[in-house]
A and B are shown apart, each in its own frame.
Chain A
Amino acid sequence: MRFFDKFFFTDLFTGLLTTFRQQNPREIVTEQYPAQQPRIAERYRGAPRLNVDPESGDTLCIGCNLCALACPENLIVVTTERNAETKKKELTTFTYDTSRCMFCGLCEDACPVDALELTQDFELASFTREGAIWDRQMLEEGPKPTRYEY
C-alpha cells in the first residue's frame, strides 16, 4: 500500500463512500411483509388446491391415484368408490399432509386432468399438527390466508 493511501485511509474511505451512496431512498429494497404482500410468481408452488368445475361445483378429480403414486413422500391418500349406476370411479376422500410436503410439484405434473394444483398461497402455519393435514373439503375450498389490517 502506498504511503499516501496508508496515511489518508483512502481504502477505508472508498468503502465508506459506497455505504454512504446506498443511503439513497431509491436503493431501499426491504419488503414490508406482511403489511405489504410480496409479488408471487405465477408458477409458484405453494398450498395445494383440488380444483372443482366452476359451474357445477363437482370435483375435477377422477380418482386415478396417479398423484399419490408420483409423490416421493407418499403423503397423498385418495380413496374412491365405484358408482353402482354409471360404473365409474368416484372420489370419496382425498387427504394431503402439508406438513410432509416439499412442494416439488411432481403430483401436480402427474395429474392428467389438472385437478390438483399448487397455488400461490404460502402461509401454511397451523396451531396443531393435525391442522396441517388437509382433507377434501379444505383442498376444494383452497387456502384461506388471514389478512390483517395495518
Chain B
Amino acid sequence: MSEITQATFLDSNELVLNMGPQHPSTHGVLRVILKLDGERILGADCVIGYLHRGVEKIGENRTYAQFNPYVDRMDYVAAVSNGLGYCLAVEKLLDVEAPPRAQVIRVILTELNRIASHLVWLGTHALDVGALTPVFYTFREREEILNIFEEYCGARLTTHAFRIGGLQYEAYAELATDTLNFCDRFLARIDQYESLLTSNRIWVSRLRGVGILNAEDCKRFGVTGPILRAAGVQWDLRKAMPYSGYQKYDFDIPVGTNADTYDRYLVRMEEMRQSVRILRQAAADIPEGPIMAKVPKVLKPPVGEAYVSIEAPKGELGYYIVSDGSTQPYRLRVRPPSFINLQALDHMVRDTLLADVVAVIGTIDIVLGEVDR
C-alpha cells in the first residue's frame, strides 16, 4: 500500500524552485519560478512587480515638464535615453523640434549612456557567469562617463539632462574634448575586456549555444535591441527611423549569426565601438546656436496622440502619449524594452540547465526599474 505512494513520490520528477526576488543574479527584484527535472529546466515563470511605482499613472498626474525627471527612474542605467525618448514624444505632440546644437549634444550624451549601459551589462553578466575581474574595469570606465554627465547636468545617474524643446544646460567648455579623450582611451579598454573574455575557454563554453532565440521567435515575442540583432536581423531604429539627427552619422549595425548568448556578447561589444565612432563624429562638430526651441512656458499640447520610439541600449523604447489639450497627459504609455525582452526568458531557458538561467537573464540585459515601472 505504502509502496504506491512512495513510487508516486519518487516518480514526480518536477521540482519547483524559486529564484529570487533576492537573488544576486536576477539583477534586482525579479522572481523566477523554475520547474526543474534535476538540473534540466522544464519551464520558467517570471513574477514581476516588486518595484512597481505606477510611473504611467504618475505621468497622468504631473504636467509634461514635471514628469520628465520620473522617466529617468525607469531604466536608471540608461537614464539619458529615457529622457530623450520622452522629450521627443512630447516635442512631436507640440510639433516643435530641438535646435541642431541641442540635437548634437543629445546624441553625444545618449551614446555615452549607451556605452555606460553596456558596461554595466558586461560587468554584471560576466560576474553572473563567473568572471569576477571585468566588473572592476567596466565600472572604472563607466565612472568617466558619469563624470561627464555630472559636469554637464549636475547629476550622475538620474540625470534629467534634456528638457522638452531642447536643453536646459549649455554644454560645459570641455564637453567635446572630454568626450574625444574618452573615446581615445576607451577603444583600448574594449580590447582589454576582450582579452579577458572573448577567447577565454570558460566564457566561451558557458555562452556558446546557450539561450538561442532565432529571428522568427524574436519577432514573435517582439524582442528588440541587441538580442534581435544577434539573431541576424539588421534592425536599429537609429538607422531605420532616424531621430535627433542620427542620419548624419556614419556607423554600422553589428549583427550576429548564431542567435546565442555568445553572439549577443559580440554584438554588444561591437556596438560600443560603433558608439565611439558616432561620438567622434558628433563631438568634432557641435554647431553653434540656441539650445532651446521656442516652447511656451506652460505646455498645453493640442488634442491628439503621439508615439515615438528610440533605440535605447536595451532595445526599442517607445512613449505613447495621449493629450486632451490640458497641461497633463491624458494617458501615457511606455513600451519598455526590458519588459518585453524578458518575456522570451521561458522560451530561451527551456531544456537548458539551471546554471544557464543566470547567463540568459544576464544576456537579456534587464533593468527591473523598467520591467516593473
Contact = CB atoms under 8 A, between A and B. Distances in A.
Given A29-B143, A43-B169, A45-B154, A105 B160 contact: yes
Nearest to A6: B201
B153 A11 contact: no
A14 B199 contact: yes
B65 interface: yes
Given A1-B201, A43-B169, A103 B66 contact: no
Interface stretch (A15-23, A52-60, A82-90, A141-149): A15-23
Interface string B180-202: 00000000000010011101110
A70 interface: yes
Contacts of B147: 41
A72 B158 CA distance: 15
A47 to B, nearest CB: 12
B116 to A, nearest CB: 16
Given A14-B199, A18-B195, A72-B66, A102 B158 contact: yes
Q: Is the interface of B mostly helix, strand, loop or mixed?
A: helix
A11 B201 contact: yes
A19 B200 CA distance: 14
B187 to A, nearest CB: 15
A23 B190 CA distance: 18
A22 B137 contact: yes
Contacts of A19: 133, 196
Given A41-B150, A41-B151, A72 B67 contact: yes
Q: Which of A15, A40, A42 has the most CB of B within 10 A?
A: A15
Interface residues of A, number: 28
Interface in A51-94: 70-72
Contacts of A22: 137
A69 B83 CA distance: 22
B155 interface: yes
B199 A72 contact: no
Contacts of B133: 15, 19
B36 to A, nearest CB: 32
Contact of B192 (A12, A18, A41): A18
B195 A43 contact: no
Chain A to chain B: the 7 pairs with minimum beta-carbon distance, closest first: A104-B69, A43-B154, A72-B66, A45-B154, A41-B150, A11-B199, A15-B196
